[in-house]
Amino acid sequence: MDQNKKRVLIIGGGFAGVNLAKQLAGHTNFEVILADKNNYNFFPPLIYQVATGYLESSNISYPFRKLLRGKDNIQFWMGELQEVFPEQNKVMFSTGEVSYDILVLATGCETNYFGMESVAKHAIPMKTLSDALQMRNTLLERLELASRTQDPAERKKLLTVVVAGGGPTGVEISGMFAEMKKHIIAKDYPELSGSGGEIYLVDGLPAVLTPMSEKSQQYTYNALLKMGVKVKLNMMVKDFVDDQVHFANGETITTKNLIWAAGVTAMVFKGVPAEAYGKGKRLQVDAFNLIQGTDNIYALGDTCIQLTDSNFPQGHPQLAQVAMQQADNLGKNLVRISKSEPKKPFAYHDRGSMAIIGRNKAVADLPKPKMFFSGFIAWLMWLFIHLISLINSRNQIKTLYNWMVAYFTRDQSLRMIVRPGANKELIVPPVSNKPVI
């Protein structure tokens, strides 16, 4: 390695990690290593459409190595983070050791089950691409089983779906299930007509889409009810045992299918000082995203909490836009540091929020000027923003095609149960005491 270059190790290839790598691409002062446990980037806002068979996994994912082609100062390293050694400026991965001058943690967050072991064991998560494929297989298999069983009570359990979490993911997947029940399942499984399976959206708070405006909340609530979704608010899940979802108020819902979209938590990294963690296990960072108590370790996006922005004194929301803007700011600051120029503190520019509910139904809140959109216009806005946010034109074209087919036919043809054999363990070379690179 050129001694005049700074090695920047970015762990996590999501919104923040990829955007930071792009910021530093071509800068001769930096050697960048982008590390991730997967060999692909994926677009989390659309994983529920993979889970319900409206999109292929390749529509929303892309290999890192192909993404980084032509960027001579950027390498890719596949491996899972095991431990950070701040004093030695190195990181241990499942696949070896990597040294760094600057470390950036952009690992996002993971599903939070709030300590409920039975929920963690039996519920269906909605966080990763693997989760989405597993969910698609599981629900399709349960539909097939429901079509064969002669027991009406068992059939109803198999067909009833409880979605826990009234945020955008919970709302979007509930609406998708409602449309599938009416337009797809009724045609594909005529033998299930009148079986009584219901779709529930439950949340412990008094409204759906709580971060959004009251108008968005009310429109979404009414739209879901009209679509046949049973919305139960102020209902906190306490357990999921023996095919029953138990709530804090004593109520229960009988089902085989609890889809968990109720919360996330940041991850704890071995070697990072315990005092650096704040609310929700998020790493506390200063105005420049430097982790508290360190001098060359940064954190971005969902994995950090930043209390220095006067407009967000309790920390920023865990949104893609925050991660991307923080990455852009950090990238520019690293370049400024290399040129001995003053750094600029991060300030989040809220560009609004939106959620899709179903066909021609969505809500959107814009902060400046303060505006609210709903229905078909908001639906078009949602489609456009999510389409242009996909990582390249290949994914955009494939996704647009699938959406057009689904819109005009009210159907899709990706309902295949595909279960590959058990993955062989990643071959890991012996790790010496010296960094691999």
Which residues carry out catalysis?
172
Of 366, 259, 276, nearest to 84 (Cα)? 276
Edge to edge, what strands does the sheet with 244-247 contain? 237-241, 244-247, 252-254
The whole-angstrom separation of Cα 68 and Cα 213 is: 39
| CA distances to 22, 105, 218, 243, 268 from 35, in Å | 14, 10, 42, 40, 17
Torsion of CA 422, 426, 430, 436, to 10 degrees: -170
Which residue from 163, 33, 161 is spatially nearest to 102, judged by alpha carbons?
33
Return the structure tokens found at 224.
Answer: 């879901």
Rounded-to-integer distance, Cα 437 and Cα 434, Å:
9
Among candidate residues 310, 314, 343, the one with its CA nearest the CA of residue 329? 343
How far apart are the C-alpha atoms of 52 and 285, rounded to whole Å?
Answer: 37
CA 414-416-418 angle, to 5 degrees, is: 130
Alpha helices in 149-282 (DSSP H): 152-159, 168-180, 186-188, 214-226
The residues, any chain, with a CB within 8 Å of residue 24's CB and separated by 6 or more, are 8, 30, 32, 73, 74, 331, 334, 335
Helix/strand/coil for 10: strand
From residue 275, give the alpha-carbon distance in Å to each of 81, 110, 266, 292, 294: 20, 21, 15, 8, 11
Q: Count the Cβ atoms, other than its own, within 10 Å of residue 73.
A: 17
Contact 89, 98 (CB under 8 A): no
Taking Cα atoms as reference points, which of 363, 362, 366 lies closest to residue 350?
366
Spatial CA neighbour of 227 closest among 196, 278, 286, 183 = 183
Give the C-alpha separation, 360 to 55, whole Å. 18
R_g of the chain, CA atoms, integer Å? 23
